[in-house]
Each structure stands twice: as structure tokens, then as C-alpha cells.
Amino acid sequence: MPNIAVTFRQEITRLARREIRSQTQGLRKASAQFRRDIAQLKRHASELKSEVARLERRVGKDVAPPITEADSAKARFTAKGVISRRGSLGISAADYGKLIGVTGHTIYQWEHGASRPRRAQLTALASIRHLGKREALARLEQMREKAPKRRALKR
């Protein structure tokens, strides 16, 4: 006949294991779900990295580096240069002014020699000097999308 203490201990051990198993089952499920989520995030990050690499290759190395204030001091300005650059891009004075951050009338005055750009404007002129036609049109489209829509006045 088995000892009552041994039987009692075995029963307590069995019940304790059962209780522990029931309480840790939720943690196991949560842990498995977290592992799946982490794997999914890693796959998504990998896809994004490859997309960035693809876009960097697409942009290429012909993108001009940003112009600093020191470089703008060396930049030269001629009205003829503004006319030819705007003509090569095939955009209006107003659109060219949007790229630089001035009005179309200011561009018109620069082209006709009535005024000259300030230092900050020379920096902006130098920074768009190496833009291609597609990139200039893309920037203008981005500016139009970002601009707040104006409501028509009711009369």
C-alpha cells in the first residue's frame, strides 16, 4: 500500500503542473504572435530598403549637390542666363519664380535687367541650375499639391 504522503505529493504536483500549463498557454500564444509580427515587420523593412535602393539608382548620380551660401557668393548672374535657362525648361516666368521662391514679375524684371537677385535668390537660382525639365515639372507639381486650395468667393 502506497504511502499517503507520497500520493498526496504526487497529486499536488499534478495539479500544480496543470495550473501552470493553463496559465502559460496564453503567454505562449502571445509569444508566437509576436514572433510572426516581428517576421512580418522584417520582411516589410527589407522591401522598403530594396525600394529605396531602386529609387536611388533611378535618381542616379546626376543630381546636383545642394548649393551653400559660400557657393552662392561665387555664382554669377546674367539676365541672358535666366532667359535661356527658363527657355530650356520650357516653363513660364511664374512657374520659374515658384521654383526659386519669387514672383513671375520678379523673373520678368531680372530677364529685362530692371533688377538683380539678392544673395538668397542667387542661392536658389544656383540650386535649380542643374535641374532637368522632368524634375522641374515634378517639383512644380509637388508645390501645387502642397499649396492650400483657395475657395471661390461667393458674389
CATH number, domain containing residue 133: 1.10.260.40
Q: Record the pTM.
A: 0.52
Are 94 and 104 contacting, i.e. CB atoms less than 8 angstroms apart? yes
State pLDDT tens for residues 9-64: 999 999 999 999 999 999 999 999 999 999 999 999 999 999 999 888 877 654 55
pLDDT exceeds cutoff 80 at 94? yes
Domain C-terminal end among 61, 85, 107 = 61
Same domain, 30 and 80: no
pLDDT for 1 equals 56
Per the domain annotation, does 153 fall within a domain?
A: no
Q: Which residue has the higher pLDDT, 128 or 15?
A: 15
Helical spans, DSSP H, in 75-118? 79-89, 93-100, 104-111
Domain count, the chain: 2
Judge whether 64 and 127 are in contact, CB under 8 Å.
Answer: yes
Domain membership of residue 30 as a residue range: 1-61
